[in-house]
Amino acid sequence: MPDLLRVSGLRAGYGEAIVIDDVAFALGEGRSLALLGRNGTGKTTLLATLVGVTRYRAGSIELAGRALVPLRPDQRAGAGLGWVPQERNIFRSLTVLENLTAVARAGPWTPARAFAMFPRLLLLDEPLEGLAPLIVQELLKALTRIVRDEGLSAIIVEQNPARVLAMTDDAVILERGSVVHSSESARLAADAATLDRYLAVGGRAH
């Protein structure tokens, strides 16, 4: 299976601070990746670097063989990279369609055109954070359908390893801004020692 995303020697951060250093991993077409690590290990910064909103220092990012580093964030989105950050900057009482049309301006873009631009690779930064348990279960079902049944490639950051490992194909653990573990999700889910060492969960579901 060809790689959809290939990251090599990636080094980036904010200002003079280096947050991720020498990060390397690959994601195959149609596969999903759990991005794990304790708080402050660089997970969000890695996603932000992929979309081009951090200070790039070194390394390469290729999406379907296309170099992303020279591209602006909007050009990366046009290449098929979609980002759902942690911030919930939406009108909570409105539907998805209502949120899109609430700030719409006259021009060529319509909701239909927006919905047609689903990305080749979706980056989700803790999508379950702060949600009620019932909503979490519904969103988990939707995410599982998207990445399992519909085959959309995705990188998912989630604090609960049991949740995300059950729905993804591959897993990467970051520690101090570097990759310290890479394997298939099922293998990591069964590796209590590694889970306990880097995530302090001992393989238990939380």
CATH number of residue 122's parent domain: 3.40.50.300
99 domain residue, yes or no: yes
204 domain residue, yes or no: no
Instruction: Calculate the alpha carbon distances from 11 to 51, 55, 71, 92, 107 in Å.
Output: 14, 9, 16, 36, 39
186 domain residue, yes or no: yes
43, 198 contact by CB (below 8 A): no
pLDDT of residue 117: 57
153 domain residue, yes or no: yes
78 domain residue, yes or no: yes
Q: Are strands 81-84 and 153-157 parallel, antiparallel or unpaired?
A: unpaired
Instruction: Calculate the alpha carbon distances from 177 to 10, 22, 36, 41 in Å.
Output: 10, 8, 11, 5
pLDDT of residue 92: 66
Mean pLDDT calculated for residue range 65-80: 94
pLDDT at 206 over 50: no
Tokens of residue 106, six digits: 């006259």
pLDDT of residue 179: 98
Q: Pseudo-torsion of CA 205, 161, 37, 154, nearest 10°?
A: -170
How long is the chain? 206
Can you tell me the distance from the alpha carbon of 51 to that of 42, in angstroms, rounded to the nearest whole number? Answer: 14
163 domain residue, yes or no: yes
Question: What's the number of domains the chain is made of?
Answer: 1
Q: What is the pLDDT of residues 99-147, one digit of tens each?
A: 667 767 777 766 666 555 558 899 999 988 877 788 888 888 888 888 8
**Residues 46, 52, 57, 62, CA torsion sign:** positive
Determine the structural domain holding residue 98 and report its residue range. 3-199
**This prediction's pTM:** 0.84
205 domain residue, yes or no: no
